[in-house]
Copies of this chain bind each other. A is one copy, B any other.
Amino acid sequence: MGGKAGAASSSLTRNQSQANHRVTSVDVAAESGVSQTTVARVFSSPDKVSPATRERVRVAAERLGYVPNAIARSLKSQRTNIVGAVVPAYGEYWQSVLAEFSRQLAERSYQLLVFSFGTPRDVDGALASVAQYRLDGVVLASATIGQAQLVGMRSSERPSVAFNQPAAEGVVPSVSVDNEAGMAELAEHLVKLGIETAAYIGGVSSASTDQVRYRGAVQTLAEHGVACPYIEAGAYTYDAGYKAAAQLAQRDRLPDAVMVGSDEVAFGVLDGLANAGISVPGDLLLTGFDGLPQASWAGYDLTTLVQTTDVLVARAIDVLMGSGAGPQEKPVSIVVPGAIRIGKTTRKSSA
């Protein structure tokens, strides 16, 4: 039929398995002597076809190497079986969240389409891109997605959920760990250990998670008369933490405890302090936040707040799948508690 020539198939006897892979349900229909409708039914609602026909179609499909075209299916059915995720391109935490989403979605026979962005400015591009695919749901991760952008998503009437993004509460359906309470719990823990001074190291001060976590720390500490200045590392990375620690080490007087807004930064702080000759927990206590796997590795053994990522992700998926309800209602905000993990970084050394 006037194909683009290309590989002329080396004129082999057109073997079934290496046949022209443009096999459609129409071809299968012809091969098995039924209508295209019936072929479609065999692959989407098999119980509506008699066993005999079903088998005949299956055999023909196999012989021709037919594979249903999900694109066409999606166009017609308006369902893609794909969930999109808008996430930052960097960061251990987000990687682990993505992995968890991928796992749980796979269990439900959904696929994950990743839209990653390098800088906050690229978010718009990612959001524009995500809108073009008519996905069954969209996960908005990262605290650097602006409020205006969230509002834009809401109007897109496609199920979406903000993941761990306090700024989104009330604007878009959201699922978060209880950032404030979690950090407060860590602060309580420190207070009980008798600290009198403290400092907080955040990643990026404009990130809403950071703000909420800092608030949790500050309020609780203030109740016990402990001040807690904010130090900005500048990024959510190991290196940023390492450098922040170096700066901290040059101060005249070290705080009794340092609360870090995320584990990845905390690892850097820990190593940075060690490099400066400051011992943890000897000279000061240290806490993180997130509960990355590495936090429980014996090498670090960090006191932190463990997010039950599997639960958070499960809730987020529930929200996406169950949002057939009312688009007008006020968006739900699910808050999941975290669990404190005590490691050696706040264990008073017996020395």
Q: Residues of A at under 8 Å CB distance from B? A: 7, 10, 17-18, 21, 65, 67-75, 80, 82, 89-90, 92, 95-96, 98-99, 102-103, 106, 109, 111-118, 122, 126, 129, 131-134, 155-158, 238, 242, 267-268, 270-272, 274-275, 293-294, 297-300, 326-328
Asked whether A102 lies within 8 Å of B114 as measured between CB atoms, the reply is yes
Contacting A267 at CB < 8 Å: which of B102, B133, B157, B299?
Answer: B299
Asked whether B113 lies within 8 Å of A111 as measured between CB atoms, the reply is yes
User: When chains A and B are docked, how far (Å) is the Cα of A75 from the Cα of B244?
Assistant: 51
Contacting A71 at CB < 8 Å: which of B133, B158, B271, B297?
Answer: B133
Contacting A106 at CB < 8 Å: which of B89, B98, B102?
Answer: B89
Determine the chain B residues whose CB is within 8 A of the CB of A65 once the complex forms: 155
Extra contacts, 8 of them, besides A7-B327, A68-B132, A71-B133 (Cβ < 8 A), are A7-B328, A71-B71, A71-B75, A89-B102, A106-B116, A111-B113, A113-B113, A268-B297
Pick the 5 closest A-B CB pairs, nearest first.
A271-B298, A70-B132, A102-B116, A112-B114, A95-B95
Determine the chain B residues whose CB is within 8 A of the CB of A268 once the complex forms: 297
User: When chains A and B are docked, how far (Å) is the Cα of A129 from the Cα of B68?
Assistant: 10
Determine the chain B residues whose CB is within 8 A of the CB of A116 once the complex forms: 99, 102-103, 106, 112
User: When chains A and B are docked, how far (Å) is the Cα of A172 from the Cα of B111?
Assistant: 24
Report A42 CB to chain B, min CB distance, Å.
15
Known: A99-B90, A111-B129. A297 touches B326 (CB 8 A): no
Report A7 CB to chain B, min CB distance, Å.
6
Asked whether A238 lies within 8 Å of B297 as measured between CB atoms, the reply is yes
Residue of B nearest to A103 (CB): B89
User: When chains A and B are docked, how far (Å) is the Cα of A21 from the Cα of B78?
Assistant: 13
Determine the chain B residues whose CB is within 8 A of the CB of A7 once the complex forms: 326-328
State the copy count for this chain: 2
User: When chains A and B are docked, how far (Å) is the Cα of A144 from the Cα of B297?
Assistant: 26
Report A325 CB to chain B, min CB distance, Å.
10
Asked whether B298 lies within 8 Å of A300 as measured between CB atoms, the reply is no
Contacting A115 at CB < 8 Å: which of B106, B118, B271?
Answer: B106
Report A300 CB to chain B, min CB distance, Å.
6
Residue of B nearest to A242 (CB): B298
Asked whether A18 lies within 8 Å of B132 as measured between CB atoms, the reply is no
25 contacts between A and B (CB under 8 A): A7-B328, A10-B328, A17-B155, A21-B156, A21-B157, A71-B74, A89-B99, A89-B103, A90-B99, A92-B293, A95-B95, A98-B114, A99-B116, A103-B118, A109-B129, A111-B114, A112-B113, A112-B116, A238-B293, A238-B297, A242-B298, A267-B297, A268-B297, A275-B298, A294-B294
